[in-house]
Amino acid sequence: MEKVAFTQMKDGTKEEYAFLTEHETDYAKDTAKRLMKAMVELDASLSGYQVTRLGHSLQSATRAWWDGADIDWIVSTLLHDIGDIYAPYNHDEYAASILRPFVREQCAWCVQTHGDFQMIYYGHHVGGDPNKRDRFKDSPYFDDCAVFCERWDQASFDPAYDDLPLSFFAPMVEEVFARTPYDPNVIQAGVRAPLTDAAVAASRTAA
């Protein structure tokens, strides 16, 4: 079989859907590679800052790396603004939807809500609500997103910062997106892993 015969989904056979599932599974294996290509496109998005969106993303992830963050935090930080390309008005939700099947719930939640949390830094300048994040005050991840924004996101627009290259993070992205989607052992609903680890950070500096 090279193509299915049906023109309406309701007419498909079990064999045809098995054929399509196999193709879709193979296609999904290259998700990480497609994401890396999309990251390069961030270099041409949203001008006006002193760094490109790719530079901002790399700088954010680099800060997470040197802070001793684990792989879920690092990959989530790298991809947190990837939605700027296709979803400029809800880029945080877009990025979180990509990450959610493959990273800890804590990380996906922080990516999904970081746009509201960032308002504390500039909302008063643009007629927005700087306290918009307060609607999430009862979330167990509230403090985590506040730290995410303070240490890695809002601080990462410095053209003089020594970013690690995209190729450095590519194997981490490959590892994360090779996981079984929605594995409870990965999602770890309710678990709060620290954003920083001084011992891990020291070992990375020493290396």
pLDDT at 47: 73
Query: Residue 46's pLDDT is what?
Result: 67
Residue at 6 is within a domain: no
- pLDDT for 36 beyond 90: yes
Whether residue 1 lies inside any domain: the answer is: no
User: Tens of pLDDT along 169-186?
Assistant: 999 999 999 999 999 999
Q: Is residue 2 part of a domain?
A: no
Residue 63 lies in a domain: yes
**Which of the four pLDDT bands, split at 50, 70 and 90, describes residue 150?**
very high
Mean pLDDT across the chain, nearest whole number?
Answer: 96
pLDDT for the residue numbered 44: 79
SS3 for the chain is CCCCCCCCHHHCCHHHHHHHHHHHHHHHCCHHHHHHHHHHHHHHCCCCCCCCHHHHHHHHHHHHHHCCCCHHHHHHHHHCCHHHCCCCCCHHHHHHHHHCCCCCHHHHHHHHHHHHHHHHHHHHHCCCCCCHHHHHCCCCCHHHHHHHHHHHHCCCCCCCCCCCCHHHHHHHHHHHHCCCCCCHHHHCCCCCCCCCCHHHHHHHHHC
The domain of 90 spans: 13-197
Q: What was the pLDDT predicted at 207? A: 80
Which residue would you say has higher pLDDT here, 76 or 45? 76
pLDDT in tens, 57-75: 999 999 999 999 999 999 9
Q: With bands split at pLDDT 50, 70 and 90, how would you rate the model's confidence at 12?
A: very high
pTM (predicted TM-score): 0.94
User: What is the rounded average pLDDT of the residues 1-27?
Assistant: 94
Q: How many independent structural domains does the chain possess? A: 1
pLDDT at 146: 98
pLDDT surpassing 70 at residue 115: yes
Percent of the chain past pLDDT 70, that is, above it, reads 99
Least confident of 84-88, 95-99, 104-108, 194-198: 84-88
Is residue 140 a part of any domain in this protein? yes
5 within a domain of the structure (yes/no): no
What CATH number does residue 179 fall under?
1.10.3210.10
**Quick check: 82 pLDDT over 70?**
yes
On whether residue 4 sits in a domain, the answer given is no
67 is a domain residue = yes
